Amino acid sequence: MINLVPQNAQNQLRAGQANRALVAFGVFVMAIFAIGFVMLLPSFIALRFMIADFSYAREVEEQSPSSRALEERTKALANFESRARGVLALGRKTTSFEAIVPEVVRAAPVGVDLLTMRFEEGTLAIEGYYQRRSLFLAFLAALETNALVKSVSSPLSNLLKETDASFRLTLSL
């Protein structure tokens, strides 16, 4: 086949085709980038709002009355434990009540609050509040393994609620 187009024109034609191919490839890459950006932008915005919501929820939870009440109960429990230790440090004759109270207080995990204790000849009646049933069960297990406690009586009504419930126990000493 004979090419009648001069060599200079052929070179310009090839250079023009290469330039067009390069421009087409550049447009294709920019289109892919633009589509990706448009598709990811709503996800990015939604993620920013989710992070802001989680941060706000955490701040609200930290400032909620229930967490403040938990802190107050924990402080009251620590105060009660220190007073119980103070009574033991006075050097008075140690009774079963004076020996068992610090053990009961130590056995109560954070989230189990002891409200009242009544001692009557060999038994200790305890009333309190727990935030989660699993914490209450751990408290019961700790009391049952204590050497000073012969038995623990806990009615089934103590286990009816999974969270935020009051309880009553009777310990035989």
Q: What percent of the chain has pLDDT over 70?
A: 86
Over 70: is that where the pLDDT of 96 sits? no
DSSP character string of 109-136:
PTTEEEEEEEEETTEEEEEEEEEEHHHH
Which candidate, 147, 108, 144, 104, places its Cα nearest to that of 124? 104
| Whether the predicted pLDDT of 171 surpasses 60 | yes
pLDDT in tens, 118-146: 888 778 899 999 999 999 999 999 999 98
The C-alpha atoms of residue 102 and residue 91 are separated, in whole angstroms, by: 15
pTM over 0.75: no
Domain positions in the chain are 7-63, 65-172
| pLDDT per position as a tens digit, 30-65 | 999 888 888 888 887 887 888 888 778 777 776 666
Q: What is the DSSP letter of 9?
A: H
**Which two three-digit tokens encode residue 138?**
């751990």
Task: Give the tens place of pLDDT for each residue, 150-169.
Answer: 899 999 888 888 888 999 99
Average pLDDT, the chain: 82
Name the more confident of 68 and 47. 47
**How many residues comprise the chain?**
173
Does the pLDDT at position 9 exceed 70?
A: yes
Cα separation of the two ends of the chain: 115
